[in-house]
Each structure stands twice: as structure tokens, then as C-alpha cells.
Chain A
């Protein structure tokens, strides 16, 4: 079956604009994660969804960041009023169930550049 897909693959935007990133998880995976990876840095957890439970937003760096997911399908990560420090690769991963015991499958990421 298809893996995790993300779109767009690259996004260049001007400082102050809003951007929306999309993630299509593997069908049947109830858990979905968003990570940020700055150049030369490790993955930084942003938010995760588990089924219809309230999402864990503990990793979101500011209130400019938000994410939505309808049921167990597509998720969108929105960054409002983008800043240059938001430039990074945004990775999405899905897992059959949430938690540290379970394998995660990553998408190819969206490279965001804020000019």
C-alpha cells in the first residue's frame, strides 16, 4: 500500500504570510505526528493525534502553529504569520497506535523556506 505522503514538497513564502502543509497518513493508522527538523538538527516533536482523542499540542512552539485532523485521515499543519525561524523541513509520520512502543512511518517532508 501507499506510504505517508506530504504536500507540497517545497514551499517558499514571504515573512508574515500563512502557510498550510498537508499530510496523508497510511490508511488504518490511528496515530499521526508532526515534527520539525531544522538544518543540521534533530527532529523536534510538534503535535500528535490519536484517533478521535484531543491532540497533544505540547510541542507546538507558539500560538502561530496549529494543526487539524478529521477522524483518522488527512491532517493539515498551519503556520500563521510565518517568521524566518520557521524555515525547516516539516515531517509527518503515522503509526498504527500512538506511543513509544510502535513503529512510525515517515513521509518525505515539506521543506519550508521563509524569505
Chain B
């Protein structure tokens, strides 16, 4: 069964600090891995999407890494800002042509404190 596990479940850091969120997956056949940011009361918004051949991708202060051998990904946030407070969801897509083709993690709830 395809699964995506995220850690930590929640995280509180001070404004300006860096943090790293983790995602482990068992999805086959692997197609891509995405990180979404979901603000409270809003729908998820895509931050990065990586395919098998990509091992890092940046979007401003967000940098995602992918290790397809160990089936792990991380999202690193640099110089955090109050607006980074949100849930961060790891989503893995498969290329098997199945129903929705996506497996969602439960997310990491990040709180940035001033």
C-alpha cells in the first residue's frame, strides 16, 4: 500500500530561524514528489515538484531535496517569517495510471513565533 509519512507532526520555531521538515514514502511506481503549503482556511498551494532525476529544487526560501534511493525528502525553510506559519504537506505521485495517482501525507504544522 502506498504511504507517505511526515515528521515532525508539529513544530514551533522563532522567527528568523531555519527548519527542516521530513517526508518518507513508499509509493510505487514513483513519478514525482511535491511539497504543498496550506495556510489555515485555505487550499494547498504547490511549493515544489520534483521528478526521479531531480535531487534538489528551490523556491525562494524553500528548498526541497529528494533521495529516491532511500525514498526520503526534506523541505528546508531558511530565515523563517511569520507568514511561513502553515501546514506543509508532502504528496507523492505514482505513474501507474491509477485513480488519482497521489498519496498525501498528513502534514507538518509549523508555527513561527515572533
A binds B: yes
Residues of A within 8 A of B (CB): 4, 33, 40-43, 45, 48, 56, 58-59, 91, 93, 98-101, 103-109, 111
Partner of A41, one of B34, B49, B106: B106
**Apart from A4-B43, A100-B92, what are 13 other A-B pairs with CB-CB below 8 Å?**
A43-B104, A45-B99, A98-B101, A100-B31, A100-B32, A100-B95, A100-B98, A101-B31, A101-B93, A103-B49, A104-B46, A108-B41, A108-B42
Contacts of A107 in B (CB 8 A): 43
Residue with the greatest number of chain A CB neighbours at <10 A, chosen from B89, B93, B102: B102
Q: How far is the CB of A47 from chain B (nearest CB, A)?
A: 9
The chain A residue with its CB closest to the CB of B102 is A100
The main secondary structure of chain A at its interface with chain B is: loop
Bound Cα distance from A98 to B95, whole angstroms: 11
Query: A106, B97: Cβ atoms under 8 Å?
Result: no
Query: B99, A103: Cβ atoms under 8 Å?
Result: no
Query: B42, A109: Cβ atoms under 8 Å?
Result: yes
